[in-house]
Chain A
Amino acid sequence: MPTSDERDELTCQQAPQIHEMMQAQLDGKLAASDATRLQAHLRDCPLCRAEWERMQALDDLLRAAPMVQPPVRLRVMVMARLERREQARQAVFGWIGLSLATVALTMLALAPFLLDWFYQSGIAPAVIAGGPTTILQVLVCVRSIGQAFLVVAVQFLVPAALLGGGCLALACSWGQFLFRQIAVTQKQTEN
């Protein structure tokens, strides 16, 4: 039997075709005529015969090995992880919803002041005077800002938006209180 080094030096000229036939034979895909040809060659070629015996030994070893059975807890673990993933997803959406609601409520609270500022500063009259096209452009701009804010909120600032909304609401309340105080002071001064 030649050693592996000796095999490297000795080669059968039909080796590529014979090896291909060996593989097909192992996989049960060799035609009967080619199987006969293979057997005839193996009878005459010790190199290929040795190769075939090695391939057969390997094939027998691998075919005799059964499927490795999974641990009984595998299915339970998969379903548990699936449930946790679903719960986490719902929690994220819950946070996003809460943050958006907070921001919306804050904007509603600030709306009277913002609208008053828009009119006082001349922005609102200018937009209205610009006609429907200008109003549409402003709305598109506001929507873009809103979408950008949503992307950032979803990605990074979910808890920060909640905190920011709270701060804005607090600032709104204090602002209202200060305005009222200033108005009362001015009235007292005039009297």
Chain B
Amino acid sequence: MTNDAIRAAEVRGTTDGNDPEAEWIRHARQGDHVAFGRLVLAYQTPVYNLAYRMLGNAGEAEEAAQEAFLRAYTRLHTYDPQRSFRTWLLSITSHYCIDLLRKRRIIWLSFEDEIAASDDTTKESLAHLSANTPNPETVVTERERAAHIQKLLSTLSPTDRAAITLRYWNDCSYEEIAETLDLTVSAVKSRLHRARRSLAQMMEESL
């Protein structure tokens, strides 16, 4: 399987008879771990990104992403092939992260804590953001911006945070977000609007 095919399947996110992803899913349902590994490879970035944006911590995001994939494997028999596999997988991820946040009652992390984080995986993830910009000043700027975004996101409720992440990083439509989060389209619009206004106000106040 070429990287282009994997990326194409990742962007498409839907299954059809000619799509290799449909074959992977079919084989994975029969217990083929290799096929499931290909699905993990195709979707690990959007799943991890969603978990990271919601949890704000690279270590927890990695754990959440692992758990989301394992849950997806055990629930493959419930997956409806008529539905987008990406939406179904992101739904599992978002619900797991929302439950985790509600249990933990996440408290907003300070801007200074984000910059001073000594978590190697956080640094690894943030470093990858600027992999092509070796300028030290740019690297610092990128890290500051990334930390600033996480700071803003942490002020939102878990569901609003999920909606914003799905809209901006997974390029999901209102309908896809509604399906992922078990909301109506109007509820999604309302949440996005409220979250944007809140974030815009927080951003202005932090300047």
Binding site for B on A (CB under 8 A): 4, 19-20, 23, 26-27, 51, 54-55, 57-59, 61-71, 74-75, 77-79, 81-83, 85
- Give the contacting residue for B49; candidates A19, A54, A67, A83; CB below 8 A: A67
Q: Does B27 contact A (CB under 8 A)?
A: no
| Residue B187 is within 8 A (CB to CB) of chain A in the complex | no
In the complex, the chain A residue whose C-beta lies closest to that of B63 is A77
Contact A61–B192 (Cβ < 8 Å): no
Interface contact B196-A23, CB-CB below 8 Å: yes
Min C-beta distance of A88 to chain B, whole Å? 12
Compute how far the CA of A70 lies from the CA of B64 in the bound complex, rounded to whole angstroms: 12
Given the contacts A62-B164, A82-B73, A57 and B62 also touching, CB distance less than 8 Å: no
B interface residues, tally (CB under 8 Å): 47
Q: Are A83 and B33 in contact (CB under 8 A)?
A: yes
B residues with CB within 8 A of A: 33, 36-37, 40-41, 44-49, 52-53, 58, 61-62, 65-66, 69-70, 73, 121, 124-126, 128-129, 145-146, 148-149, 164, 167-169, 174, 189, 192-193, 196-197, 199-201, 203-205
Q: List 21 A-B residue pairs with CB atoms under 8 Å apart, sorted by A's residue number.
A: A26-B196, A27-B174, A54-B204, A55-B196, A55-B197, A58-B199, A62-B168, A64-B145, A65-B169, A66-B129, A67-B169, A68-B126, A68-B146, A70-B44, A70-B65, A71-B62, A74-B62, A78-B44, A78-B69, A81-B70, A82-B73
Picked from A59, A64, A67, the residue with its CB within 8 Å of the CB of B46 is: A67
A68–B56 Cα distance when bound, in Å, is: 11
> CA–CA, A4 to B200, complex, Å?
12
Contact present for B203 and A58 (CB under 8 Å):
yes
Q: How long is the Cα–Cα vector from A75 to B70 in the complex, in angstroms?
A: 11
Complex CA–CA separation, A95 to B203 (angstroms): 58
Query: Closest A-chain residue to B74, C-beta based?
Result: A85
**10 residue pairs, one from A and one from B, having the closest CB atoms:** A70-B48, A54-B200, A69-B128, A58-B200, A62-B168, A78-B69, A68-B52, A67-B49, A68-B49, A75-B40
The answer to whether A74 touches B48, judged by C-beta atoms less than 8 angstroms apart, is yes
